[in-house]
Amino acid sequence: MKILVTGGAGYIASHTNLELLNGGYDVVAVDNFINSNIESVKRVEKLTGKKISFYEVDLLDKEALREIFAKEKVDAVIHFAGLKAVGESVSMPLRYFKNNLSGTINLLEVMEEFDVKNLVFSSSATVYGDPATVPVTEEFPLSVTNPYGRTKLMIEEMLRDISNADKTWNIAILRYFNPIGAHESGDIGEDPNGIPNNLVPYIAKVASGALETIHVFGNDYDTPDGTGVRDYIHVVDLALGHIKAIEKLQKNPGLVTYNLGTGVGYSVMDIIENYEKACGKKLPYVIDPRRPGDIAETYADPTKAKEELGWIAVRGIDKMCEDTYRWQSKNPNGYKS
Ligand code: WQD
């Protein structure tokens, strides 16, 4: 089977491509390098000893996308490509709507034109907004508080309407919680542009000396230690969830939706402590005011994915931190080095 992976040079895509290749799939990767590096593709090829058919194409270039589908006999698509910085989306919503929504519509139109009706969509727990209770199931109400999250929810709604109109589509919507970690080789990992927005890549740069101190965004939340609680999931577990979703689509399920999380919530302080164990040193931190838009606590109920995909996350927070530290130590400047 040949899988086309959009955003194919990115963090989660590179880990998914590795598992696809190891699982015997052929991979066509498409990326415009807005937030990624061709080096990640080369590293996955080296780690697997297999080739990726790569195209530097922007999903906004519909003609170029058509040429790929005309050339490659694609069986299914995993759609990762999209801008994903919450704060940035607030300051430039139109760029997010254009890139994420128009890019997705181009992709869906070309898929339909070439009769490729199997799609795995990279959604996010952000579509749950601030859940009234935890753990979160797929039946929880959906609400968003920023343009990035709105694009994820709007794409989900488009996919539900498409599925209702044409039952020949098989679509798996995967709602990621907080992906962190890296492949155990330390050769691929998260390589954010500039100063990381997210907690673990920021901690990793403090541990490596690239940044001075960790800023804890608030310790007055209604949580055990007052800091934000999230469901951190190892990126390799997440990647393996995509393989299970591709297998699920072979059974013509129509549209299905799954939380991909561990079902365990960790606070900011828990993460700092686990990362200190991984790197073998105390890490400096200061308590800052809350970050606008942050919620206190969320973590998944991953039962549905276990029952319907036969998937569970097996890598613990210690391995997530150890694997991040190895990647950061081997690649202090990410792929640029
Ligand atoms: C985690 C916790 C912060 C940075 C976001 C997006 C979500 C998904 C994952 C794309 C929170 C605290 C953070 C820091 C801190 N992205 N924090 N200091 O906000 O849960 O989710 O990234 O799909 O859509 O919303 O992740 O890592 O930014 O924050 O204290 O320097 O760490 O307050 O409690 P978040 P995060």
Whether residue 189 has pLDDT greater than 80: yes
Residue 97 in this model has a pLDDT that exceeds 90: yes
Backbone angles phi, psi at 123, to 5 degrees: -100, -165
Instruction: Report the 10 Å Cβ neighbour count for 34.
Output: 14
Residue 151 located in a structural domain: yes
Please give the Cα distance from 325 to 225 (Å, whole number): 24
**C-alpha to C-alpha distances, 327 to 35, 261, 297, nearest whole angstrom:** 18, 22, 28
In the three-class reduction of DSSP (H, G, I as helix; E, B as strand; rest coil), residue 177 is classed as coil
pLDDT confidence of residue 5: 99
* CA 85 to ligand 1 centroid distance, Å: 10
Q: What is the pLDDT of residue 49?
A: 98
For residues 35-39, average pLDDT: 96
Tell me what the pLDDT averaged over the chain comes to. Answer: 98
Q: What is the pLDDT of residues 284-293, one digit of tens each?
A: 999 999 999 9
pLDDT at 67: 98
pLDDT in tens, 69-78: 999 999 999 9
The CA–CA distances, whole Å, from 150 to 81, 146, 183, 279 equal: 15, 6, 30, 37
Tens-place pLDDT, residues 270-284 = 999 999 999 999 999
CA of 281 to the centre of ligand 1 (A): 23
Compute, in angstroms, the gap from residue 129 CA to the centroid of ligand 1: 13
Cα-flanking dihedrals φ and ψ of residue 212, to 5°? -80, -50
Q: Provide the domain count of the chain.
A: 1
Q: Does a structural domain hold residue 59? A: yes
Query: Tokens at residue 217, please?
Result: 């965004």
What is d(CA 75, CA 69) in angstroms, rounded to the nearest whole number? 10
- Whole-prediction pTM: 0.98
At 240, list the tokens: 């393996």
In a domain, 203, yes or no: no
Q: How far away, in angstroms, is 311 Cα from ligand 1 center?
A: 25
Q: Give domain status of residue 130, yes or no.
A: yes
Residue 337 has pLDDT above 80, yes or no: no
- What per-residue confidence (pLDDT) applies to 69? 98
The closest-lying atom of ligand 1 relative to the alpha carbon of residue 124 is 23
The string of pLDDT tens digits covering residues 299-334 is: 999 999 999 999 999 999 999 999 999 999 999 999
Does residue 49 sit within a domain?
yes
- Give pLDDT tens digits for 242-267: 999 999 999 999 999 999 999 999 99
In this structure, is residue 50 part of a structural domain? yes
Pocket test for ligand 1, best of 90, 178, 262 (most atoms within 8 A of CB): 178
Tell whether 271 is covered by a domain.
Answer: no
Give the model confidence (pLDDT) of 137-184 as tens digits. Answer: 999 999 999 999 999 999 999 999 999 999 999 999 999 999 999 999
Confidence of residue 3 (pLDDT cuts 50, 70, 90): very high
CATH number at residue 35: 3.40.50.720
Domain region containing 158: 2-177+233-261
Does 126 sit in the ligand 1 pocket, CB within 6 Å?
A: yes
Is residue 335 among the annotated active site residues? no
Residue 40 has pLDDT above 90, yes or no: yes
DSSP string, 21-66: HHTT-EEEEEE--SS--HHHHHHHHHHHT---EEEE--TT-HHHHH
Per-residue confidence at 240, pLDDT binned at 50, 70, 90? Answer: very high
Q: Going by C-beta distance under 8 Å and a sequence separation of 6 or more, which residues neighbour residue 251?
A: none
**Domain assignment present for 291:** no
- To test the ligand 1 pocket, which listed residue (90, 144, 199) has its Cβ within 8 A of the most ligand atoms? 199
